[in-house]
Every structure is written in C-alpha cells, then in structure tokens.
Structure 1
Amino acid sequence: MLQQIIAYIKFLKRSTNQHGVHSPFVYNLITKCFYDKSKYNKYKEIASYRKALRKSKDTINVIDLGSGSRVFKTSQRSVSKMVQKVGASKKESKLLFRLVNYLQINTILELGTSLGIATHAMAVANPEIKMTSIEGCPNISAYTKGTLGQFNLKNTEILTGDFNDAIKPLALNKYDLIYFDGNHQKQATLDYFETLLTTTTNDSFFIFDDIYWSKEMTEAWEIIKKHPQVTVTIDTFFLGFVFFRKEQKKEHFKIRI
C-alpha cells in the first residue's frame, strides 16, 4: 500500500491534462473520450448491473490462479464485497464504455472476467461487438455467465481456464482491444503481452489494469513501454494504455483523469 501511495504522489507531480499534448490522435482521445462529460443512456445499464451485484446476498468459493487477493483472507467471498473491493470502479466502467464507443471497437478480448463489471460496460457499447472474456476461477465464471445472461448480454463469450492455455488458440485472431486484468504478476503479464502481440493491427490497443499494483507490475509496465512495436502509451495511474500506430512517433504520456 505504501508503495502505491508513493507512486501516486510521483504520478501527480509528473502528470498533466491535454495541454502540451501535440499528437492529434492523443489530444482528441483525451478531450473527446477521457474527458467526455456526456450523460450516455447506456450509463443507466452499467449502473443497473453494478447495483444488482452490490445487492446480491450470494457468496462464491474463489480459486485464485494469479497473484491472489490483498483484500480477502479466505476463499469464500461475498459478491457484494467483491464489487466494492475488486471490481472495476464506476469511473473506470464509464471510461471503458466511452473508449469502445469512441474508437469504434468491434472485437475485444478480456483477461480476467471476474464479476463481469468491465465486461458488461464494454459489451453494451455496441450489440454488434464480439467480446471474448477469460476467467480462471470456474466458480466465478459460472456465476458471471448467469448474471450476464440475466441482463440479456448476447455478444459476449466467457471462457474458463488458465490464461496460458486459453490465449494460445486466441493468438491466431485479431483484436481491436485487449484488456489485461487477471494476473498482476510481472512475468505472467509480460508473457501474455508477448503472446498476444500477434493479434494486433495498426489500430489495436491494449489496456493494462493496476500498473502500480506492485513494484513488479510497474517494472512490467516499463518493459512494455520500451517494446519496439509499441509507439504510444498513456499512463492514467490506474490504467495503462498501449498503442501500436506506426504513424505515431514513440511517446509516453501521464494523464490525469
């Protein structure tokens, strides 16, 4: 926790807003998407999904395949507490929705479905989107499939299994967006990144959740930024965005949102 506090103080000192951003693509992304204050009707659907989970009395026996939880001490976890402690925040959910909407995303791969809060937020942006999400814990996967089904979400497929195994056949596909939010270990993050580079096009982008979750995750983020195929990165502290646009010069931004 102390490491995150120090990292956040440093981030605030070094970050900025759209001012001083000379790349038209990044400037427009910040001003027209990150800072978009529109009251989208779909926000009500996103809020309803979160509310249903928050009011749930259910518990799930969680099998952690990644780095484990810093919040929960036992494997038996309350759904309502999971929403509060480990689910995508309201702010993040709305941002993910806006990103899919603004960049006209058609295909999404998500590593780490959890309770489907981020999954739902991205999928409702467009019913024509093809969304694939992978969850390692079979109990969470089954629960979330049922919950998403209650909300009539038909454009999303949830796969269950270890990421290492699940992503190998998927690496043959092409994705507009890949959202990494399931294993916050350095080497695992780098391995998934390298494996899924084959799925990118010039307009694809990756999002990494919790890039300051630990010293190791921050090290992984710094390595990813230096990769020769990466051109632009945007660090918002909680989320890290990676772009592969060949027409862009290599630049790294720290943006407050």
Structure 2
Amino acid sequence: MGGNDVEHSHGMHVVHDGARQAPPLLLVHGSGASGGSWAPMVPALAGHRHVIRIDLPGCGHSPPAPPYDVPVQAARVAALLDDLGLRHITAAGHSSGGYVLTALAEQRPDLVGSLTLISTGPALDAFLPQPAVLRALLEPPLGPLLWPLRTDAMIRKAIRATAVRPVDVPDELVAGVRSISYRTFRAMDRRTTAYVAERSVPERLAALRLPLLVIFGAADPRWEPSSAHRYERVPDARVELLPGVGHLPLLEAPEATGELLLGFTAADAGAPPVLP
C-alpha cells in the first residue's frame, strides 16, 4: 500500500501522503471498502495537504475489532487523531465513511474543522433497490456462499455495479476488499443502518453548525440523487451534483471531486495542523 509513511494505530492501518507540515486532510472509506478507494485522488491531494487514509477495523489491512457501532468507530478515529496531535482537521468520508465522520464531529467537535460527505445517503428512505450483482453477493442466502469464492474479477464487477462511468478499479482497493470477511461486512452494515435510522444525517449536522460540502453523483444507483438536497437544510452547507456520475466519484470523476474538495478546504489551509 503506497504512501510516504505507513503505521498501525488503535487497530487501524494508516497511510500518510504529502508533507506532515501541510494542513491535514483525513479520508475515511465506506463499508465494504478500504483506504484504497481514494487512490486515484491521492497524488493531487497530497500536493497540497497532509493526507491521512485509514482502513477502518476489519477492512483492508486492519484486523477485525468488533463492535462496529458507528460511534465506536468514531471514537477509534478520535484516539488516532489525539495520538497524532491533530485538531481542526478537514475530513472527507465516502458513503458510510461519512457517518463515521459525522459521529466524530458529534463526539469531538474540537477535532473537525470542516466536513465533506461524498455519496453519503442522508436517511434510509433515500436508499434505492440495489443492483442484482450486489444483492447476490452481499445479502443472504447467497451472500455467505459466494463471499468466500470471490475472485478479483468478481470484486471489480461488484464495485463497478455502483458506477455509471467506466472505471479502473485500483489493485489496492481490490486487495483491501478481498480481506474483509462476510461476517465483518454484515456487522458493519447493520450498525451503519442503525445509526442512520436513529437520526438523519442532516439533522445531526444541523446541530453542529459545521462547514459542510456534499458531493453526489447525479446518477447514483445506491441513493436517490435528489436526496442530496436535504443537506441544504444544514447551515453553511454546499451541495454539488456531478453529472453522469454514480456512487463512486472517487473513481469516476477523481479530478473534479479532488478540485471540489481542495477548493472547499482552502479556507482551512492556514489552520495549524499540529498542537503547539
């Protein structure tokens, strides 16, 4: 797994790219994925930021570590940031990674200066019927049988099922997905669903008054794309829909997604990345 520096902390595999003196940017992947999701965007981001990618417990190079409740995951990320001596970071989450970061901001508002959510559904009623290949692989009764038989080609097919543009799936991401057990994936999925069912994400964020950027593919097949506008109820929120893009802006439109992210976080560029 490439990067300037690799470490393990609080049960998580952590990759650092870019200069440590640059403003920090934390990237959190979605469930069933890994830090490799961000690979196409990292070179451009690392030219301006200290990019920190993590593999959540049970994903990628991180060993399983139940429970997988979203607030528990957020507390682990908070402990990592405390160890790194970071405050007021810019943070971006893809899909359910956005829920972990929302919970982080709820628990520790001192750690998050601004938040970007990419393809993060606002509430369960915005969830769409999933592509057949995903239902077969992820849900009982076929899921537990097919999961151990996954080939690299099957993993790539499943990932591409959520895109609407042709995408190159990084080897790094395929390897990270392969390491996830079916048991871990299902546990994470259940706990993520419970977090969103308890309270919608826009409602949670409205109470925090945190600068927010929401990026959605205008053709997302996993979440109703128009549901992105629900985030407009959040003070200081900006919503961007990418035309002709599905659930994977990180892979389908990495340049446009990276430009939006860097532009949004530019205001934080002067924030001190390390505690005095």
Please indicate the TM-score interval, normalised by the length of the shorter structure: 0.3 to 0.5
TM-score by length of 1: 0.36
TM-score by length of 2: 0.34
Structure number with the bigger relative contact order (C-alpha 8 A, sep ≥ 6) is: 2
